[in-house]
Amino acid sequence: MLTRYVEAGNKVDIQKMTRVRLTKEEEDKKPVYRSQVYEVISDSKLEIIMPMEKGKLILLPADTEYDLCFLATSGRYQCLARLDKRYKRDNAYLLLFELAGGLRKSQRRDYYRLSVTLELGSRVMQPDDMDLVDQDVYELSEIGALKRSVVADISGGGLRFVANFAYQKGDMIHCRFTLNLDGAPKEYNLIAKVLQVQEKLNRSGVFEHRAQFVVISDSEREEIIRYIFEEERKTRKKERI
């Protein structure tokens, strides 16, 4: 299954396994190292680029079990794997993992975020608007004037944007933005819930917002994830030149 679903360049989260039972708070504090797949050797072995933190390589202990979570084109997959050894090849610092269990569909609900610069139009949804949305008779695309701001990163789960105004935590907002998908622009009109609002340090009157998509179709979410993959591939291609 590994060779079927995971490929070189896929993002992967690495987390050390523990034999003792941890509380949820302790589990949340366990470090997660993000890297990417270098090569899938077989259905039981793969190479992962050694993760880095603040410009320094993270020397993960060998002969230790880790939880690997892959962000593949068809979704998220997890497996238990043992780190066999660390080495350098072709100027790349690599980790050789051997699977200790089968690959399974991940139940994690987080999404990989891509740093972008996109124009965003938004407005607060009123209770009456949301009632119409619930009845599936509200046309988001017909809304008029929207406040302008800039998206700083986006994922299949939501976005982070910066504006010279501040929404309130818990506000439901209509978000309009355009992505270039398959070489053509496509406009998205989605509803998101504001999770966090914070004024930027040393930038008075500028506010960073984090929002989670709450009205989005499966196809729209899949398109956003595919857009992120396409942009990641473009970036990797430029880095090789």
Highest mean pLDDT among 12-26, 100-114, 160-174: 160-174
Give the domain CATH number at 143: 2.40.10.220
| Cα separation, 69 vs 87, whole angstroms | 22
Half-sphere exposure in the Cβ direction for 112 (13 Å, CA): 24
Least confident span in 56-65, 88-97, 140-149, 181-190: 140-149
Check whether residue 83 and residue 158 sit in a common domain: no
Q: What is the pLDDT of residues 52-72, one digit of tens each?
A: 988 899 999 999 999 899 988
Range 192-221 average pLDDT: 90
Domain boundary among 105, 134, 149: 105
User: Would you put residue 226 in left (φ > 0), alpha (ψ -120 to 50) or beta?
Assistant: alpha
Check whether residue 55 and residue 129 sit in a common domain: no
3-state secondary structure the chain: CHHHHCCCCCEEEEEECCCCCCCHHHHHHCCCEEEEEEEECCCCEEEEECCEECCEECCCCCCCEEEEEEEECCEEEEEEEEEEEEEEECCEEEEEEEECCCCEECCCCCCCCEEEEEEEEEEECCHHHHHHHHCCCCCHHHCCCCEEEEEEEECCCEEEEEECCCCCCCCEEEEEEEEEECCEEEEEEEEEEEEEEEECCCCCCCEEEEEEEEECCHHHHHHHHHHHHHHHHHHHHHHHC
The pLDDT, as a whole number, for residue 31 is: 84
Neighbours of 141 (CB within 10 A): 9
Percent of the residues in the chain that have a pLDDT greater than 70, as a whole number: 84
Highest mean pLDDT among 17-21, 200-204, 228-232: 200-204
Check whether residue 100 and residue 149 sit in a common domain: no
Global pTM value: 0.57
pLDDT higher for 229 or 173? Answer: 173
Percent of the residues in the chain that have a pLDDT greater than 90, as a whole number: 46
Check whether residue 91 and residue 143 sit in a common domain: no
Domain boundary among 86, 105, 124: 105
Neighbours of 120 (CB within 10 A): 23
Check whether residue 193 and residue 176 sit in a common domain: yes
Domain boundary among 49, 74, 105: 105
Least confident span in 82-86, 178-182, 210-214, 234-238: 234-238
Check whether residue 21 and residue 73 sit in a common domain: yes
Q: Is the pLDDT of residue 20 over 60?
A: no
Check whether residue 84 and residue 141 sit in a common domain: no
The total number of structural domains in the chain stands at 2
pLDDT higher for 18 or 118? Answer: 118
Check whether residue 101 and residue 194 sit in a common domain: no
The CA-based angle 175-180-181, given to 5 degrees, is 105
The pLDDT, as a whole number, for residue 55 is: 85
Check whether residue 126 and residue 93 sit in a common domain: no
pLDDT higher for 20 or 75? Answer: 75
Range 174-194 average pLDDT: 92
Average of per-residue pLDDT values in the chain: 84
Check whether residue 67 and residue 154 sit in a common domain: no
Give the domain CATH number at 20: 2.30.110.10
State the residue range of the domain holding 120.
114-237
Check whether residue 150 and residue 207 sit in a common domain: yes
Range 137-155 average pLDDT: 77
pLDDT band at 185 (very low <50, low <70, confident <90, very high): very high
Check whether residue 171 and residue 99 sit in a common domain: no
Q: What is the pLDDT of residues 105-131, one digit of tens each?
A: 775 555 678 889 999 999 998 877 666
From the list 144, 92, 98, 97, the residue with the least C-alpha distance to 123 is 144
| Cα separation, 15 vs 80, whole angstroms | 10
The pLDDT, as a whole number, for residue 128 is: 74
